[in-house]
Amino acid sequence: MDKSKYSVIKYHEYLGLDRLLDTQHPRSLEVGGKEAHDEMLFIIVHQAYELWFRQIIHELASVHEIFSADKIDERNIGVSVHRLRRVNEILKLGVQQISILETMTPLDFLDFRDYLFPASGFESYQFRIIETMLGLKDNQRITYNDKPFTSVFDEEKKKKLESIQASGTMVDLVEKWLERTPFVQDENYSFLASYSESIQQMLERESEAIKTSRFLSNEEKEMRLEMLGSSNTYFLTVLNKEKHEQLRNEGELTFSYEATLAAVFISLYRDEPILRSPYNFLNTLKDVDETLTNWRSRHAQMVLRMIGKRVGTGGSVGHKYLAKTAKKHQIFADLYNISTLLIPRSQLIPLPPEMEKKLGFYFQ
């Protein structure tokens, strides 16, 4: 290492500020000859996002690397939770940042909007990397003008996005990790059998309570029993592998049967010491997904306020397209489905003592 160089670093050199602060060039001035005051804010807000996107990719790449291993050290689950929480905090800041942009009024925006065509946030390559790394699949995406979202990128960028998908996204890696969860089944214990019995008992109790209720009319009883029958159907997705596979083939579910069962197990027994950090990990993935969805909704709302029903500079129908992505571009939808499959702790068949010991920190 060149120590002399190390000792003379200056703040602005370390941060590359000369270069960084020379990258704000309002088009209204360069093309139109008169700077629109708010264009500087517009540029800086976008640049700030792109810098944070860079940090998010840095964090996701490290979690991806951890989860690419065949066996994941327990400590690294904690590291992953820590880094994903950071991603979530950055995304939350991203949601807040929209309010800064909204200090620009629609009329202020019109002062320079024409100079931006056909550029659009739709071309944010880093945003696509984040979505792809997390696991948003091509066939899940809403497209417009019959073109794939990659059509705006050059060949090199397209290949990079393809290689991220091919090397396994977070959804793929988490699925594999869940499938390897020990304890779900061993020589003396079957979570599936115990869970299935708990559900059966719970449904029988609920059905009995409806039938014998003194407060419900016969009609109401019938309706409630019918509703109970449909929640029974939902439990079938975990109790019945064929049904699960069918829904997966129809695109309703993403995770394999084994991965889903493990996620239910972890969520139900999350208070057992060994399952705490896997539970935190799954929960943090949901946080990240949810905050990204919040950003999509917030951005769509801001766009409505800013340009009304006008088409976007990138050629989409604008607000309507963005609102649809907020609804459909959810990445870890299967983890939300787990909540449907939970049953109250009081109605769970207790773990056998041997299994409880295995899941605890047990000292001889």
Residues that bind ligand HEM (CB under 6 A): 45-46, 49, 101, 109, 120-122, 124, 127, 299, 303, 306-307, 312-316, 318, 321-322, 325
Q: Closest Cα to residue 341, out of 208, 195, 184?
A: 195
70 HSE (CA, 13 A, CB side): 0
**Closest to 105 measured CA to CA, from 313, 296, 305:** 305
Cβ nearer to ligand HEM, comparing 48 with 274: 48
**In the bound complex, what is the minimum distance in angstroms from residue 198's beta carbon to ligand HEM?**
41
For 171, the token pair is 């959804």
Residue 49, burial from CB neighbour count under 10 angstroms (0-12, 13-18, 19+):
buried
Instruction: Give least dist CB 120 to ligand HEM, A.
Output: 3
In the block, tokens 């990990």 appear at 281
Cis status, amide bond into 118, omega within 30 of 0: yes
Strand residue runs (E) in the chain: 185-186, 189-190
Nearer of residues 4 and 145 to ligand HEM, judged by Cβ: 145
3-state secondary structure 84-99: HHHHHHHHHHHHHHHH
Determine how many CB atoms are found less than 10 A away from the CB of residue 286: 17
For ligand HEM, the closer CB: 158 or 270: 158
**C-beta of 87 vs 348, nearer to ligand HEM:** 87
Comparison of 184 and 303: residue with beta carbon closer to ligand HEM? 303
Q: Which residue is nearest to ligand HEM (CB)?
A: 312
